[in-house]
A and B are shown apart, each in its own frame.
Chain A
């Protein structure tokens, strides 16, 4: 039972480069989301999706793009990386309904130089 799988685990980018962080879940959850974790700030919501074909912005969406073509996959794209995007990124999926817990991937540690 894989749960939520994120790739890669580590990445170093140069300023201006683009890349895609992958997230896949095998639990058939409709809701998926991306967070970034920075010291002293907890996890902040970047983008989320309530189902295939539906995405919306979270608290800190600038510089990131998402799409949701299937229930399983929710990739996060950095369009033109900046040092301010150096962070640890987590993907989460949550079952439909009230009071359900989130399942998190292991995280991607991204450094932009």
Chain B
């Protein structure tokens, strides 16, 4: 069975400090992995995706994530948080790279001035 574990339900940072949102996955097949962001009362927007081409993936708004197969992890990072980064972030796996998405429970990022 495929699953995603987001290790923190809430993460609080100060503006200008680094962001780390943690994600571990379990998949029987070679997975594709995604990070989506949801701003309050909005839909979901793709931040970045891993599709086996490169283990370090760069996304929009300065975010990046590193795929580590040995640790079954796909943590999301950003060097310097901005107030506009405050949102909920979802780690998603598609087992075998196909369309059935499995979501983590989400991490709410809070950014203080």
Q: State yes or no: do A and B come from one complex.
A: yes
Determine if B9 is an interface residue (Cβ-Cβ < 8 Å).
yes
Taken together as a complex, chains A and B put the C-alpha atoms of A98 and B53 apart, in Å, by 13
0/1 interface trace, chain B 36-52, chain A, CB 8 Å (1 if under) = 00000011101001011
Chain A interface residue number, banded:
20 to 34
Whether A45 pairs with B49 at a CB distance below 8 angstroms is no
Most central of B9, B96, B101 by chain A CB within 10 Å: B101
Contacting residues, chain A, for B43 (C-beta < 8 A): 90, 104-107
Known: A33-B100, A41-B105. 16 other contacts (CB 8 A): A42-B103, A42-B106, A43-B90, A43-B101, A45-B100, A45-B101, A98-B32, A98-B98, A99-B49, A99-B94, A100-B99, A101-B34, A102-B46, A102-B99, A102-B101, A104-B44
Taken together as a complex, chains A and B put the C-alpha atoms of A24 and B3 apart, in Å, by 29
- The 7 A-B pairs at the shortest CB distance, nearest first, are namely A98-B97, A99-B51, A42-B103, A31-B99, A42-B105, A43-B103, A104-B44
Q: List chain B positions with a Cβ less than 8 A from chain A.
A: 9, 32, 34, 42-44, 46, 49, 51-52, 90, 94, 96-101, 103-106
Most central of B42, B44, B99 by chain A CB within 10 Å: B99
Contacting residues, chain A, for B103 (C-beta < 8 A): 35, 42-44
Whether B9 pairs with A40 at a CB distance below 8 angstroms is yes
